[in-house]
Chains A and B, each alone.
Chain A
């Protein structure tokens, strides 16, 4: 098929193509008939593509609906990694795991015996008799310092550091 520029009448001085031959006219008429009647023609897809690119016709509503349904069916909503039945099974699994952890975990939990400094009398911190008056602050200083050391040691023992 021979094409010519859309502007400029046939046979004008700008028309560089030679006039169509009888054979070309017959082919053009056959194509025109095919387009009018909707009958098959080898060049028809090309013509339809050109028409759609230049001035697209409105899409058939039924075809439009069909395309939409197909596209939505293929699309996955964001964040949904699992389909509904899979989600239900996953939820059931999570609940079962939680129940197992609660029941089995509690029974497995055993206190770890560790030698910790115990609360006890502070008597051993004082080898000398208390003065008759005063000395209270020095006594509480000694008690607080001794026990703070022991609390630190208990903390380290709790963390497994000795």
Chain B
């Protein structure tokens, strides 16, 4: 009987604690007065940005020592690791990281892998932005380097140059749009 009573008291106290917790307004109860669908800047986003920042600086140090492989490994940890979903910041940072990876791979003669990075980056930066324009710009550089490496096959080199020119044109077009939008917002 005593044991049962103690059991019941335990349940009652547990329920009370849960009830108090439910009734208490917490930090998660805050409603963002931002645009529909937008989420507030939160620790998950910051931890991703912090990780990406550290990885880029790690890549700087590796590049300064001429170790492109280590720089690539540092940046791959960012693009392969977890990232908060549906956040423009993380998409843009991932796209920019892809652009850097593409440049590093192209410098190592890995042009196809570099193009894969560009394509994945473009999937993340779909809207007109510096980031999307920059990816086309890097694509132009990658194709230009590929063309230079294809001296033995003039036809393939010409195709790579043509792709480089198209990518450069797209980059210019996108950056023009970005500039026009930015200038519209500037005070007259």
**Residues in A lying within 8 Å of B, measured CB to CB:** 87, 91, 94-95, 97-102, 104-106, 108-123, 126-127, 129-130, 132-133, 136-137, 139-141, 143-144, 147-148, 150-151, 154, 157-159
**Number of B positions contacting A (CB below 8 A):** 60
B49 within 8 A of A: yes
Q: A110-B29, A118-B35, A151-B46 are in contact. List 5 more A-B contacts (CB 8 A).
A: A94-B12, A122-B93, A132-B141, A144-B50, A151-B41
Verify if B76 is at the interface (C-beta below 8 Å from A). Answer: no
- In whole angstroms, how far apart are the Cα atoms of A102 and B127 in the complex? 45
- Chain B neighbourhood of A129, CB < 8 A: 130, 175, 179
| Inter-subunit contact A140/B35 (CB<8 Å) | no
Contact A147 B52 (CB under 8 A): no
Measured in the bound complex, the distance between the Cα atoms of B97 and A118 in whole Å is 23
Q: Are B46 and A148 in contact (CB under 8 A)?
A: yes
Q: A101-B16, A118-B41 are in contact. Are A112 and B30 (CB under 8 A)?
A: yes
Residues of B with Cβ closer than 8 Å to A? 5, 8-9, 11-13, 15-16, 18-20, 22-23, 25, 27, 29-35, 38-43, 45-46, 49-50, 52-53, 56-57, 59-60, 87-89, 92-93, 96-97, 99-100, 103, 127, 129-131, 133-134, 137, 141, 175, 178-179, 182
B165, chain A: closest CB distance, angstroms: 15
Chain B, interface SS category: helix
Q: Which residues from chain A contact B25 at a C-beta distance below 8 Å?
A: 109-110, 112
B30 touches A143 (CB 8 A): no
A117 to B89, CA, bound (A): 13
- B27 proximity list for chain A (CB < 8 A): 158-159
Contact B89 A147 (CB under 8 A): yes
Bound: A105/B45 CA distance, A: 31
CB–CB B40/A154 < 8 A:
yes
Given known pairs A98-B12, A98-B16, A108-B23, the reply for A147 and B49 (CB within 8 Å) is yes
Q: Which of B19, B46, B133, B178 lies at the interface centre, i.e. has the most chain A CB atoms within 10 A of its CB?
A: B19
Are B56 and A140 in contact (CB-based, < 8 A)? yes
A116 touches B32 (CB 8 A): yes
